[in-house]
Chain A
Amino acid sequence: MTAVDTGLAAEYAAIYAYSAAAVHLDGDPRWIAEELEAEHRSRRDALLDFYDEHQLEAAPSLAGYDIEPISDAAAAQELLLAVETDVTTAWRAGVASSEPNEREICLRMYGESAVTLARWRLALGRPAADPWPGRPE
């Protein structure tokens, strides 16, 4: 499994999580979540283009992903925060790749996911600042 495979899987899981969580949100968090879900779909499409350009086989998304039960808006917000952190962590790991094309796409996705993570933190009223986005603690 390559770093891009891992990142694509994280994007699939994020789309699934947003689909399940957004309905529990209202107001600003709801529309921001809808925007961020669209960004994940856009990144997924860009990744599938990357696979095509490099004659690689992309794994399909799974029918379902293991996510925490969502009982209310607070749970939905925390789930999406965890999802965004996971996606950013996955892309950060790919930047270490020694294969130039792989490092380039992972860096691009990492930058975009760090932006998404910061936007979701702000939506939750939390600081966007983070010197090392996605770095495991």
Chain B
Amino acid sequence: MFTTRRGLLVGAAVLTAAGCTRETAHIITSDADLTAALHTARTLAAAAEALGFGDFAEDHLTHAATLERLLRPNVVADETGELPADPAALAEAESSGSREAGDACLTTDSDYAVVLGEIAACRAAHAAVLT
């Protein structure tokens, strides 16, 4: 069929354009660490907003938006856990969230170590200020 070099090249181009070449299939899975961080970010955002710490809520919403973008095309259902009832409980939730993100930062073998570390550091700072 392809008796000349030009014919071979043209044939390859036609086959490629027609989608007849083999491509590696990618199974898109959600990153468990990012998903957990997203759930916690949403819960902390709702809690901080409810308790009047709007600037901290903004930090968490920024984290959530970034995590949602990193997780695409997966969409994580928007569900928040039980909200802390007062600033002391929020501080504890921030500390817990910091440990969660920090542990994920240390164990992840993905490229997301820095973003998880940033989230851990931000939550630690919130907890310290609230305490």
Binding site for B on A (CB under 8 A): 88, 92, 95-96, 100, 103-104, 107, 110-115, 117-119, 122, 127-135
Contacts and interface: CB of A to CB of B under 8 A. Distances in A.
A96 B105 CA distance: 9
Interface residues of B, number: 23
The 10 closest A-B pairs by CB, nearest first: A114-B121, A129-B55, A95-B117, A118-B125, A131-B62, A131-B59, A115-B128, A111-B124, A114-B125, A128-B129
B34 to A, nearest CB: 15
Contacts of B105: 95, 103, 107
Given A118-B126, A118-B128, 19 more contacts: A95-B113, A96-B114, A103-B106, A107-B102, A107-B106, A112-B124, A114-B121, A115-B124, A119-B128, A119-B129, A127-B55, A128-B55, A128-B126, A128-B129, A130-B122, A131-B60, A132-B118, A133-B118, A133-B121
Contacts of A104: 106
A128 B106 CA distance: 25
Interface of A, helix, strand, loop or mixed by DSSP: helix
Contacts of B93: none
A122 B129 CA distance: 9
B90 to A, nearest CB: 14
A92 B120 contact: no
Nearest to A97: B113
